[in-house]
Each structure stands twice: as structure tokens, then as C-alpha cells.
Structure 1
């Protein structure tokens, strides 16, 4: 039993500790060992995996007294791979599952919403190492299942979305999202089937053109009421991008994730790309005579093939170049893209509610704001190859399912197959607090509540409150002790009741008039909307039934 004198920082610490204990439980089910890696990492190590430039300005960089360059680690793939490379040489030492819960650092351009996006944050990252792809994929699915069980215990309405691997790398990844109006991510799901994807990977089935011939004829005449252009630029400032799309949309509707599928180097963070392109044209280090600058025209499928043909054959009818451009169209290497590499029509517009699902014929897509809580990645050999994480296996080893058979002598060296699986510990705390809070205060789920129950006595009932608290914190039959706080502070009863709502205990037990007259405890559960009077001998059973629903 706890009797806190103040509930501020101590309450936050207990929430974090409970969440970490919950994570420990599910990592243990995977057979993972816990470790702690340094927050300081070598820039040279990150250069070996080509991630140093990819992270760019998000990295906190510094040098020591010997002028050696370091970073504050935002993630630890390089460090754990280097450690494993030095300690594991045989397949007999695999599989390996290790994880840590610690502080990470990113120089965010716009930290916001407290714990949801900050420069310093707490994360759990699990790293898996196997000697074959089938075993690595099995480990990936086991980690995903553990994540689902963890979020189920938190009783959160989470979404699991197909995702892009981003700077982490690999070719398979999934994100775990909590729908929220303050979320930074857009998650797209189908109303009729199981399709869920984040905005970077989501696709919509092309909408049939009802009057394509009429639209195309108008577009062929260069009617800019029908089509307009959005301009972007590559990160090297040499490729100007024209995106042609229907005028019924706006620049804000352009899906830059789709554009990056054909131009990975697109700088999507710029509001006005033209000054940078003009700077390249006027640069003394660049000569038009030596190289033709690329001009990439991406054409939305809704504009039709006639529009695309006219753009190629009669470019003078369209604003192919911005005004006051110091070059002619003939001096540029103009390219035209009307479809994806898969052959599907190019949709340049962000997905909207009501678009057609790409996986079923009846469903419509729904766009939800969401907060990313966790992310799983199958990395393959992205890190093990450049950092030398290899193992020796018998040359005659074959796999029959997951059974290993060896029938001859000889060794081969293979790169380890890796996976990494992250959970934003501090982000979950912030997301859950925002998601479940109401006008009265926080409203923690049982799994991570600072205390499951708080006992609040009226004036001069401290001894009775200790009796009630003792009955709840003792094991009884099939009921385990309840994690409980007794609010014996000297503040007024009304103030303690308001403070209990503010802190967000799942269950509040009040000793008031009912206790004085009939020895009844008033049990309040705000999440379930219940207030009941319960005798002491049934109190533990009743509270445990409430807690099982939270």
C-alpha cells in the first residue's frame, strides 16, 4: 500500500514503470534478454551503413576533446549489430533476441504536444538475429503478435498499418497507431475489408472517368481550368518537377509520397522550390552547355491520355516553365510520367474519405489522424552486411520447414538476418493520457495506472480507511492484492476528490455517509460510468470485477 504525500512526479514515474514492466513481460515471452546501450554513438559507424546523411539535421552531433565525431543516438541498429558481430560467429549461438528501454535523441524541427514529439524521449527497441530468412520472418511475426497482445492489454483502439521502412531500412514494416485528432500521421483503412496502410504506402483504386472523352478533348486544348501544375524540386536542386493535376483539387492535395516513388530525392519540405532552382541555373558551377537539367512532368491519370499527349507534342500551350525562367524548354531534358513502374495509373492526389479500396470491390477508404505508438521492421542484411555480422553454418545445411538437417562437413559464411521492433514508451504515455482524458482529468487504463484504486476517507475516518485499504491489499482466495493508494493527506475531502479525478485512478473508493450509517463503501468508476455502494466483505470481489473490464 502506498501513502503518497504528493502525486505529481511520483505518479508519472509509476505510470512509466508500469508500462516498462508490461513491455518486459511481453519481451520475456519472446525469450528476449534486456540490455542497455550507450546514448553516444560514433559518426563513423553510422557512415558505414549510409544512415548518417539520411538522418541529416535530426542528429545531435558533437566532438570530444580528441576531435572525434559522435552523435546522440536516435536509434541503435548500428551499435547492437557491431556488438553482435564481435560476439557471435556460429549459427549455434542463434536465434538471438535482445532489447532495451532507454532514452533516445532527435533534433526535431518542431517539438510538439509534450511527450508525443520531443527531442529527448524513451523508447523500447527489440533486435532479433537469425541465420536464415524463414527464421527471421517467423521472428517478425512473433514480435508482431506480442505487440498486439500488449496493446490489447492496454485496451486501446489501435490500428495496424502497412508502412514504409523509411531511414531504418528493410522491406517489411508495420506501424501501430492510436486514432487521435492531434495525431501527425494519416492512417487509411477500408470500411469493408482488413486493408490498413499509412499514407506513405496507401493506394486507392482509380476512380472511373465518367466522361473521359469530353475531359480529354478540353485538356488537349490546354484549358487550364481543367488542369493546373504544382512545382517541386529534387534535393540536389537540379531536377524541376511539374505535377499536372485536375483543377478541382489544390496544391495541398498533392501526395508527395507518391511522387517519391518515381523521384526518391524529391525535397517535399519546401513551400516554394523555384528560387532554389533559379539559383542552380544561375550558379557559376553549373553550365547549361555541359549538361541538360532534368524537367520531370508527372501527369495525374484523371487528366487522361489526350492531355498527356498534348503536353508532349504541344508544350507551348502549357505553362511548362515558371515565368522569368532564364532557360528555354529546349535546353532541358523533359521527361513525362503517366503511370507507376507497376503499370498502374499515376494518382498524384492524396487519398480522401470515400475513395475506392484497392483490395476489395465494395469498400471505401477512411482517413484517420493517428499517433504512431510502435513500429516493426524486417531489416534483412541491411546492417549485418556492412558491419560484418556473419555466422558460420555447415555447407550441407538444409531447411525442411524450420528443422535443420546436416549431413556433411564444411562451412559457409552468411550474413545474419535482422529485425528491429520499436515502441515509443513516453509517446504511449502522452497518447493514452490525451485519448482517455475528459473534462475532469486523466483516466488511465488499469495496466499502466499509477495505482489501480485510491481510498479517500471523509474527515476523522483515517483508521477506518486503513482497515478498508488493508482488506484490499491482502490476497484473498482467487483475488490478488490490489495496487492501492490511501489518500491520507491533510487537504479537504472535496479537494482530494477533485485531485483523484485529475490523477485518473481507475477506481475510487470513498468512505463517507454510507460508511458511517451502513458500513458501505462508495465505489466510483468514471470510465464505466458507475457509482455503487458495496459492503466491505464484497468490496475486493467487486473491485476486481471492475478492474477486469478496464
Structure 2
């Protein structure tokens, strides 16, 4: 039998928990509440499942995509000397009183009390916690600086109206980094380096993005940048000047003319914010008394920066930007699986032709030998279904490379059908040519994105 040894494969479609569903027009969940195609597709294709308004279960395919994004971020943070830590989810309310933010953003905070009537916050961000940690060790030596601490954890915000699925929820996964420097010059140099690192992350993801001047808002500080994916459902308005390439959120520069060169022929587009960086100065370090011991032996207040990436939002925004209304599309860097193999239907002449061979097992193993595709190959072992039906399913799920063992597999030499969704290309190749094709195309697209950046 064609898949007689398939039990040894960990990546078989029949083993994946993927509760696929279609939301009918008269569904209990009103379709008007599903306000983005990414939300609908991720729900229908069993990538996420709503638990309550603004909160979602991540199912296996969603987790696998999120792990790819997390690994990509971890690699880049380690490259620039970031040290990974985990702050407590519960932050003592007194810390937010010290910073003054307990009142200014009170309506967005989840506040709880323990049995001793002590107040806590389910943290939406950790500037206070980071400053408090460093202050408890102060003064640290200038030789320990710059200090770059980051985490990837769930955050919580009491959204008045959660919408767009993962893009605006009550619980979300965020990467946040807190950096401490000796003075404003060093802090600005650090800021520029980390912004460049964020540029690298978005280029590796592989979707065109735009970096703009942003508002510091309740975070405070003297400089702020936002990273956006352009999309019609974006909640931010972005001003771009084609004359001098200036870009900014209209919150800080209006919509009439370019504040840099005065050009009135500006472009206004909508963006989904997926990253935000802040040069905070001593806004948090000073009230918390977070200091360092300078080279002259005197304690000085630390300068601070905060750098956030909305990982669950990036995932949804990527799907939103790339997908059609009916079919999901992933950037290769985040696709749960990059290659799916479709064996012949049970009882077909193609299966009979291959019954004494290990064509599927051999192909699977050889593709997995490609370093960038290790753990990224899936077999659709539902051989009771036609290849055509499974192909449509694979296409709707957005697997970048679909390989079918169809009618031409009986030829001499046998030919495999491969469809490259990104290039909308269909080819019939021998096994060696197929492997060369995947090696060339899949490896390059999954290891280094081809995104372009528009920035100020």
C-alpha cells in the first residue's frame, strides 16, 4: 500500500487538529461581527477559534506559524545582544501610580485584587516593571550598559470593542524590549540600531512595510516610530510625501501638506500598526530612581527606550494583506508548512503503479533534507479523496508549494506536478529537477524576505 509506512511521519494532515468550518449567513456569530478577511479565513480554516470577544484559541497551524515568527524575532534580538527575560504578567498597581499612568490609561487596564486587597494590573506593557527591576539593583555599573532586555509574552488590554480578530483583541502576543543607556547620545544610537534590527525583521517576514514618525501618546518620550502594513481596514492614517519621502502618522502632522517640505500633493493611506518604538529618556527611570554608577563614581539617571512588536497582530495582518476573500496566503517565512505532498487516490491506477515503491516516503525525506524545509513538509494522507479535491484544499490553506503525484507519475521517467502559489506557476518535473526547483525557490524565500521598506 502506498502509505504503508506513513505512521512514521509526524507531519500528516490526518493527524492535525484543524476544525475546518464555514460560517453561514445565518450563523449565531453574526457575519457583520467578522470585519476582516483574515479573521474569517483564520476561523474557517481552523487556525484560530474564538474563546470570547477579543480572546482566541491558537490551534496547531496557528501555533506553528506563530513559532516561526517568534524564532525569527529571537534570532534577530540575539544578534544585537538582546537578553530574553520574562516579567510577571501581574504588575503591582503601585508601580503604575509611580509612573502616573494608572489614571491616564485607566479605562484600558484590567485591574484585579488579591485576597489581601492588594491591587494588580494584567500588564498591557512593562515599562514600569522594567524600570522597577533595574531600580532594585541600582546603581549598576556603566560597564554593564547598554542593557537590552526583551520578552515575548501575552499582554492584556480592555478594548472597548474588540474587532478584526487577532488585530485588535483583549489578549495578544507581544515582543517588547526595554533598553537602558548612559546618556541621550548613547540612547539615540541604540534606538537607531534597534530600529534597523526591526527593519531586518520585517524584511525577513517578506511583506512590504512602511516606517513612519508616530505619536508617543501616553507612553511619553521624545521620539517615536511606527511600523505599518498598508491595508484598507487599517485604523491609522499615514501621510506620505512623494516629493521628499517624508512619512508620518496623521496624528502628528495632519492631512493638508508635508510638514517637512510644504508639498500639498501628499498621499494618505491606511495602515495596520504592527510595531512601535519609543525613545523615552528618563520618563520612567527617573521616578523609579533607576540609576547607574558613572565612570567618575557618581550615580546618574538611566536613559531608556521601549520597542514593541505585536506578534499575533503581525500574523493576522500578513494574512490580511496577502489573502484573497476565499483563499489564505502566507509569506513563506510564516507558512505553517511550506510544502504539501498529495499522494494518489486510493484505488487509482497511479496508486497501483506505485504500490511497490516508496515514492512518497522518498520524496518526503529528500525534501526534508533541505535545511530550510526541515519540519516544514506535510503529507495530505486523506487518500480516500481525489487529488483534485485535496489540491483545492491545499490551495485554500495557502501552502506555498503543492506537489501532486498525478497521472504523469506513471510515465517513464515519472513526473511530479508542482504548483508555486506565489508565482502562480505550474510545472511537471522529474524528482531531481523538482528537488532542485524547491531548493532554489523555497530556500531563498523562506530564509530571506524580499520585502521593501518605505521610511522617513
TM range (shorter): 0.7 to 0.9
Which residue matches 1:179?
230
Which residue matches 1:451?
337
Secondary structure of the corresponding residue to residue 288 of structure 2: coil
Which residue matches 2:265?
364
Which residue matches 2:282?
381
Which residue matches 1:531?
426
Q: Contact 2:343–2:383 at 8 Å: present in 1 too? A: no
Q: Is 1:3 paired with 2:12?
A: yes
- How many residue pairs get matched? 383
Which residue matches 2:391?
497
- TM-score by structure 1 length? 0.67
Please give the alpha-carbon distance, in whole angstroms, between the structure 1 residues aligned to 2:125 and 2:253: 26
Q: Contact 1:452–1:482 at 8 Å: present in 2 too? A: no
Q: Contact 2:414–2:430 at 8 Å: present in 1 too? A: yes
Which residue matches 1:304?
none
Q: Is 1:77 paired with 2:101?
A: no
Which residue matches 1:104?
155
CA distances 1:427-464 after superposition (whole Å, capped 9, x unpaired): 01110111111244111111111111111112235842
1:484 paired residue among 377, 384, 393: 377
**Greater Cα radius of gyration, structure 1 or 2:** 1
Please give the alpha-carbon distance, in whole angstroms, between the structure 2 residues aligned to 1:138 and 1:491: 60
Secondary structure of the corresponding residue to residue 191 of structure 2: helix
Which residue matches 2:361?
466
Q: 1:167, CA displacement in angstroms?
A: 1.2
2:199 paired residue among 148, 153, 156: 148
Q: 1:503, CA displacement in angstroms?
A: 1.9
Please give the alpha-carbon distance, in whole angstroms, between the structure 2 residues aligned to 1:126 and 1:386: 20
Q: Is 1:506 paired with 2:407?
A: no
Secondary structure of the corresponding residue to residue 388 of structure 2: helix
Q: Is 1:417 paired with 2:318?
A: no
Please give the alpha-carbon distance, in whole angstroms, between the structure 2 residues aligned to 1:138 and 1:80: 20
Please give the alpha-carbon distance, in whole angstroms, between the structure 2 residues aligned to 1:379 and 1:497: 51
Q: 1:449 to 1:427 in 2, by over 3 A?
A: same
Counterparts of 1:247-262 in structure 2 under 5 Å? none
Q: Contact 1:472–1:482 at 8 Å: present in 2 too? A: no
Please give the alpha-carbon distance, in whole angstroms, between the structure 2 residues aligned to 1:491 and 1:200: 56
Q: 1:68 to 1:26 in 2, by over 3 A?
A: same
Secondary structure of the corresponding residue to residue 429 of structure 2: strand
- TM-score by structure 2 length? 0.80
Identify the range of structure 1 (98-107 vs 77-86) with the bigger mean alpha-carbon deviation.
Answer: 77-86
Secondary structure of the corresponding residue to residue 298 of structure 2: strand
List alignment gaps of at least 5 residues for structure 1: 204-350, 396-410
Q: Contact 2:241–2:263 at 8 Å: present in 1 too? A: no
2:94 paired residue among 41, 44, 47: 44
Q: 1:153, CA displacement in angstroms?
A: 1.1
Q: 1:3, CA displacement in angstroms?
A: 2.1
1:541 paired residue among 430, 436, 439: 436
CA distances 1:240-273 after superposition (whole Å, capped 9, x unpaired): xxxxxxxxxxxxxxxxxxxxxxxxxxxxxxxxxx
Which residue matches 2:314?
428
Q: 1:64, CA displacement in angstroms?
A: 0.8
Secondary structure of the corresponding residue to residue 75 of structure 1: coil
Secondary structure of the corresponding residue to residue 285 of structure 2: coil
Q: Contact 1:453–1:482 at 8 Å: present in 2 too? A: no
Q: 1:139 to 1:513 in 2, by over 3 A?
A: same
Please give the alpha-carbon distance, in whole angstroms, between the structure 2 residues aligned to 1:55 and 1:443: 36
Q: Contact 2:275–2:310 at 8 Å: present in 1 too? A: yes
Q: 1:541, CA displacement in angstroms?
A: 1.8
Q: 1:106, CA displacement in angstroms?
A: 0.4
Q: Is 1:32 paired with 2:41?
A: no
Which residue matches 1:241?
none
CA distances 1:178-222 after superposition (whole Å, capped 9, x unpaired): 00011111111012221000011124xxxxxxxxxxxxxxxxxxx
Q: 1:363, CA displacement in angstroms?
A: 6.5
Counterparts of 1:110-509 in structure 2 under 5 Å? 110-203=161-254, 351=255, 355-360=256-261, 364-395=265-296, 411-459=297-345, 460=351, 463-475=358-370, 481=374, 483-492=376-385, 493-509=387-403
Identify the range of structure 1 (492-501 vs 380-389) with the bigger mean alpha-carbon deviation.
Answer: 492-501
Q: 1:361, CA displacement in angstroms?
A: 5.7
Q: 1:394, CA displacement in angstroms?
A: 2.7
Secondary structure of the corresponding residue to residue 164 of structure 2: coil
Q: Contact 1:103–1:123 at 8 Å: present in 2 too? A: yes
